[in-house]
Amino acid sequence: MSAATVTPDARIPLRGHLRHTGALVRRNLLWIRQDPESLFDAVLMPIVFTLLFVYVFGGSIGQALGGGQDSYVQYVVPGLLAMMSLTMAQGVGTGFNQDFNSGVMDRFRSLPIGRGSVLIAKIVVELARMLVATAILLAVGVLVGFDITHWGGLLAAVALAAAFGSGLMWVFLTLGVTMKNVQSVQAMGFLVMMPLQFGSSVFAPPSSMPGWLRAFTDYNPVSALADASRGLMTGGPVAHDLWLTLGWAAALTAVMAPVAVHKFRTKS
């Protein structure tokens, strides 16, 4: 293979990729510092969703769980942790598309840096935003009555949500590089997220759903993430849902990461 046909990534050693990724992460964090409004979704969304579902649906669904609002708080907060991973994943796709339309990515692609480093830096920064949203979610959850009984399980649940979210981010990075504008990415993200979120065990137990929808929740990876987080944070069976979630995270990364990098490298 001649030097002219070797891709830029192939010529850059691992240390170079790490250095480029670190520089790009710093650049993205500085951008957030200059534009703090970009954190509004990470700050406000967990507050709004927690208060909305606890105080609007907590009484009725809590009774179905055999308790009241307190029972629903213990049920829904781990589910909202799973939902955060989906919502933050969509954010990386819209931000990536916006960078393309503003010309920022054209500048990056003209530089001798690894193409994969650009995408990985986006994921790292989005995971940091996800951790901010998670911390706020847990703080609000405690204020409305969530009882943290397994601190080790709590940390494991956060790590599991981050692993699944990072895998899903490769999907949205692919959408961000292939869709023409931010509105298209948001519309496609809505079509993907709504069935996954509401056709799951995030907000309500599947036992109250009709049979066809309950069958969908059984294969929904968000249900596996929510149930695994619930078991880790409040006690209960974990192993099956834990391994299923990790399998989904690994599969999404293995399949979509090469696609996202290829689309980014070849986008005209």
Residue 209 in domain: yes
CA distance 43 to 64: 31
Residue 22 in domain: yes
**Tokens linked to 54:** 């606890």
Q: Which residue has the tokens 């504008």?
A: 181
Residue 3 in domain: no
Residue 229 in domain: yes
225 CB-side CA count, 13 A = 32
Name the domain count of the chain: 1
Residue 152 in domain: yes
CA distance 28 to 124: 10
CA distance 191 to 34: 32
Residues spanned by the domain of 228: 11-266
pLDDT of residue 138: 94
User: Quick check: 1 pLDDT over 50?
Assistant: no
Predicted confidence (pLDDT) per residue in 176-225, tens digit? 888 888 888 888 888 888 888 888 989 888 887 888 888 899 889 999 99
CA 180 vs CA 29, 32, 98, 116, 164: distances in Å: 25, 24, 10, 21, 26
Averaged pLDDT for residues 221-250: 92
User: Quick check: 165 pLDDT over 90?
Assistant: yes
**Tokens linked to 34:** 């200059």
Q: Would the CA dihedral through 14, 15, 17, 22 be positive or negative?
A: positive
Residue 6 in domain: no
Mean pLDDT of the chain: 83
pLDDT of residue 112: 64
CA 118 vs CA 9, 19, 111, 173, 244: distances in Å: 11, 11, 11, 11, 29
pLDDT of residue 177: 86
Which residue would you say has higher pLDDT here, 252 or 92? 252
Which residue would you say has higher pLDDT here, 151 or 96? 151
User: Quick check: 139 pLDDT over 70?
Assistant: yes
pLDDT of residue 106: 66
The pTM assigned to this predicted structure is: 0.85
User: Quick check: 111 pLDDT over 70?
Assistant: no
H or E element: which one contains 264? helix 239-266
Predicted confidence (pLDDT) per residue in 39-87, tens digit? 777 888 889 989 998 888 887 787 777 777 888 899 999 999 998 888 8
pLDDT of residue 207: 83
**Per mean pLDDT, which of 65-69, 256-260, 262-266 is the most reliable?**
256-260
Residue 4 in domain: no
User: Quick check: 2 pLDDT over 50?
Assistant: no
| SS3 state at 214 | helix
Residue 2 in domain: no
Predicted confidence (pLDDT) per residue in 10-48, tens digit? 566 666 667 777 777 887 787 777 777 777 778 888 899
In percent, how much of the chain has pLDDT > 90? 31
